[in-house]
Amino acid sequence: FINASKPENVEYIDTKTGEVRQMVNLIGHTEFVDSTDFVKLYDTDSLMCLSLCGIRVLFYVMNELHYGETFHFDSDKCIEYTGGSRHYVYRGRKELIDCDIIRKAKGSFYYVNPNVIYKGNRDNYGKVR
């Protein structure tokens, strides 16, 4: 029997002698959380429909993604990032839309599908014990 109502002063009963004994700091837990940013890409069927063009534009999207669900799609920046032409970037963006990875928001802003892409850091991501 352990009485852990006071974590700094834990009492237990020795089953052989029946005596009540005290222990200090019976259990300690130290947690280290890496605070670096990451983009999590889930393994979904929608990724299988992408060509090399779509994958390169997807990497641009992942690079531009911030902590919200929306991002600004700058065609000129995407052309520079991918090394492709304007037609190449439009084709890749269309693939991402057709595969339900991104959706048009307003103007040049788009939503990302959170079932496919998640941007965060380990401070606010689910902690596993």
38-71 confidence digits (pLDDT tens): 777 888 788 888 999 999 999 999 988 887 788 9
Q: Where are the alpha helices (DSSP H) in the chain?
A: 52-64, 75-82, 86-98
Residue 33: per-residue pLDDT: 55
Most confident of 17-31, 63-77, 109-123: 63-77
Phi, psi of 103 (to 5 degrees): -135, 145
pLDDT-derived band of residue 94, with 50, 70 and 90 as boundaries? very high
pLDDT-derived band of residue 13, with 50, 70 and 90 as boundaries? confident
**Does residue 111 contact residue 102 with C-beta atoms inside 8 Å?**
yes
Q: Is 28 exposed, middle or buried (0-12, 13-18, 19+ CB in 10 A)?
A: exposed
Phi, psi of 109 (to 5 degrees): -100, 145
Pick the range with the lowest mean pLDDT from 80-84, 103-107, 123-127.
123-127
What tokens were used for 112?
Answer: 């990302």
| Angstrom distance (rounded) from CA 63 to CA 112 | 13
User: In percent, how much of the chain has pLDDT > 90?
Assistant: 42
pLDDT-derived band of residue 77, with 50, 70 and 90 as boundaries? very high
Q: The tokens 């991402």 sit on which residue?
A: 96
| Angstrom distance (rounded) from CA 36 to CA 120 | 9
